[in-house]
Amino acid sequence: MTDKRCDPMAGIASRRDFLKLSGSALVALTLPPHLRRPGLPARLYARQVEYPRQVIGRLSELEFGQPVSFNYPWDHPASTNFLIKLNEPAGGGVGPDQNVVAFNSLCTHQGGPLAGQFHGDRGVAGPCPLHLTTFDLTRHGMVISGHATLGLPQIILETEGDDIIATGVLGLIFGYHSNLADPNA
Ligand code: FES
């Protein structure tokens, strides 16, 4: 039995849980009796969200702590993200050591640019140059300190052989009303 006090992954969602949380699957929700209301169906359906699948890099080409930029889900400046290999396993991490993650590069407070502020050795992004928010890249981009109240949007990753594939975004990208509404339109 695992002692959670000693488990370095305690508090980090497993990859399977992470994918469940991503909202990328169609979910049928059956309401418990105490939440049912007249006129409301007993079973509700969430709309499936379809993100593109896009190869964004190769495991064999990543170096520890060296961020690689890519655009996803759109070819747009706000869709600039960083793929990075950390020194430790991370929530949503892929690769043999579950330490390869990707995040959007705009601070969720007021859109401050975090390019150049991804630190793989410490597993953090920031401090943001505007108001100093810092995000934890090992725990789904949650805020460590600063003004932002929302975590950094995490790019959901899968691997196929050596390929690293972006399959979705967990969290709303700053400046978007929807991650899937084309900002170039
Ligand atoms: S814009 Fe990043 S902390 Fe304000």
Q: What is the pLDDT of residue 182?
A: 85
Count up the domains in the chain and report the number: 2
For residue 184, tell me if it sits in a domain: no
Q: What is the pLDDT of residue 185?
A: 80
Ranges assigned E (strand) in the chain? 28-30, 43-45, 54-58, 68-71, 80-85, 100-104, 118-119, 124-125, 134-136, 142-145, 154-160, 163-170
Q: What is the pLDDT of residue 100?
A: 98
Same domain, 86 and 129: yes
Residue 140 among the catalytic residues: no
Q: Ligand 1, closest atom to CA 110?
A: 1
For residue 182, tell me if it sits in a domain: no
Provide the domain limits for residue 40: 15-45
pLDDT along the chain (185 residues), means of 10: 41 47 55 72 71 97 96 93 97 97 97 95 96 98 97 98 97 92 84
Same domain, 69 and 127: yes
Q: What is the pLDDT of residue 1?
A: 40
> Is the minimum distance from the CB of 128 to ligand 1 under 6 angstroms?
yes
Q: Ligand 1, closest atom to CA 129?
A: 2
Residues constituting the chain: 185
100 burial level (CB within 10 Å; 0-12, 13-18, 19+): buried
Parallel/antiparallel/unpaired status of strands 163-170 and 54-58: antiparallel
DSSP state for residue 35 in the 8-state scheme: G
Which among 84, 87, 111, 79 has a CA at the least distance from the CA of 8? Answer: 87
Same domain, 35 and 68: no
> Is the minimum distance from the CB of 59 to ligand 1 under 6 angstroms?
no
For residue 31, tell me if it sits in a domain: yes
For residue 10, tell me if it sits in a domain: no
Residue 119 among the catalytic residues: no
> Is the minimum distance from the CB of 112 to ligand 1 under 6 angstroms?
yes
Q: Measure the CA dihedral 92/94/99/105, to 10°.
A: -60
| Residue carrying structure tokens 């430790």 | 88
Distance 147 CA to ligand 1 centre (A): 6
